[in-house]
Amino acid sequence: MRLPLRGGNWNNGSNCGPFALNLNNNRSTSHWHVGFRSALAPIRQKPHGQGCADGTGAKGNRLPPLANEGNSSSPRAASSESERGTGATWKGTMPKAAKNLWEKILAWDNLLKAAKEASRNKRFCAEVLRFNANRERNLLHIQAMLRSKQWKTGPFRAFYVFEPKQRLIHAPSFGDRVVHHAIVQQVGPFFERRFIDQSFACRIGKGTHAASEYLTAMLRSAKSKWGNVYVLKADVTKYFYSIDHEILMRIVSRTIGDPDVLDLLRVIVCQCGCIEGNRGLPLGALTSQLLANAYLDQLDHFIKDELGVKYYVRYMDDFILLHHDKKELWRLLAEIRDFLTWKLRLTLNQKTRVFPASHGVDFAGYRHWAEYRLPRKKNMRRAKKRFAGLSRQYAAGRVELEIVRCCVASFVGYTKHCKGWKSAESSLSKLVLIRKSEEIPE
């Protein structure tokens, strides 16, 4: 007769019996540290795969332990269909909404720090010079306008950027950027503690290179575990211009509980003046980056906590899932598509697809395999054209050597993070610096 084990593992396929008795595990898998739970209390099962890809929970630290994860071939294999249908979630302790932030935003030290941060690398721009010429007076004016609730967003400067593709940018005025920095300095940490570790865009200590390294480690771990790996690569169509204002403010109110701060954020979101209707955030504002991350953080927790996906990474509106079963990825895609449509009112790009990892994964500026990374082909083609154009401009005397040196340093910095020395050599061969000699008068 098999004796019941007290304090066994609650995270297997079935709930514990009365008084936390578990007959589903061998003795070697029982954990005395789980403790005792009364059968009179309602029992909620924590979904499988809620933890991060590194096994440290939704706020994990590093990826390296990822290769030593458990042996379950499907993170969701033990979950029942009824649990998925009801959307059962883990009701753990969540951070409370932050309050008493208004006076911290209006504090003089916070505004002064915001002005310095907004001036970083732009000190000699005409707009910044004008503001800093009377910085104390301008900051006092901003402080008074905020305190009296009369502050409104100013006009945006609209322009296009063409790399990596054409985008319309709305840059706020310098005074508005100071306000944005003052807000983010105070509310940013409260959003940050809710973000999962697999989100890499617009966060301190993250970025494209960290996202690229994380994906490489994911591919290496999945390949060593399964052999054949398939990739679900997806991105949201026109993400910034598709964000619903009301849904966004409901999401923000779960993190920020100060009504004055919420009113200010609503002014920034809904009354920016550069986007018509009740959807969209302006590309170019610091607050847009933070709020856009908070908006898709709902998707992050749905994928990690509800769907139980182990191998997942996101960089703003681009995200990657790995699995050994192609059909499972298509099923996950259907659930993700429904969640985005009904919960966030977003749609996925037509380029969303499932393919073998052996084809290479284009993400965060590089092409990824389990063993190495390569630069993007279109980046190499663009670099060749750029260097050929610099050669012509330098020969004509329209570009100084310092500009050329900066372009080369940027390119070398990009290629040194991947196995791209041959591509770099080919691109740099287009750079020939010969200045035409001036004609000598007769």
Q: Phi first, then psi: give them for residue 168, nearest 5 degrees.
A: -90, 120
Q: Are 260 and 102 in contact (CB under 8 A)?
A: yes
Q: What is the pLDDT of residue 308?
A: 95
When pLDDT is averaged across residues 334-353 and rounded to a whole number, the result is: 96
SS3 at position 431: coil
Share of the chain above pLDDT 90, in %: 66
Model-level pTM greater than 0.75?
yes
pLDDT beyond 60 at 92: no
Q: How confident is the model at residue 30 (pLDDT cuts 50, 70, 90)?
A: very low
For residue 263, the tally of other CB atoms under 10 A from its CB is 11
Q: What is the pLDDT of residue 165?
A: 79
261-293 pLDDT, tens digit per residue, is 999 999 999 988 777 789 999 999 999 999 999
> Phi-psi region for residue 49, left (φ > 0), alpha (ψ -120 to 50) or beta?
left
Q: What is the pLDDT of residue 88?
A: 35
What average pLDDT does the structure give for the chain? 82
Say which amino acid occupies 320.
I
359-388 pLDDT, tens digit per residue, is 999 999 999 999 999 999 999 999 999 999
pLDDT beyond 80 at 90: no
Output 220 or 23, whichever has higher pLDDT: 220
pLDDT beyond 80 at 436: no
In this structure, what token pair is assigned to residue 234?
Answer: 């997806």
Of 75-89, 213-227, 414-428, least confident by mean pLDDT is 75-89
93-126 pLDDT, tens digit per residue, is 567 889 999 999 999 999 999 999 999 989 899 9
Q: Helix, strand, coil proportions of the chain in percent (round to 5)?
A: 45, 10, 45
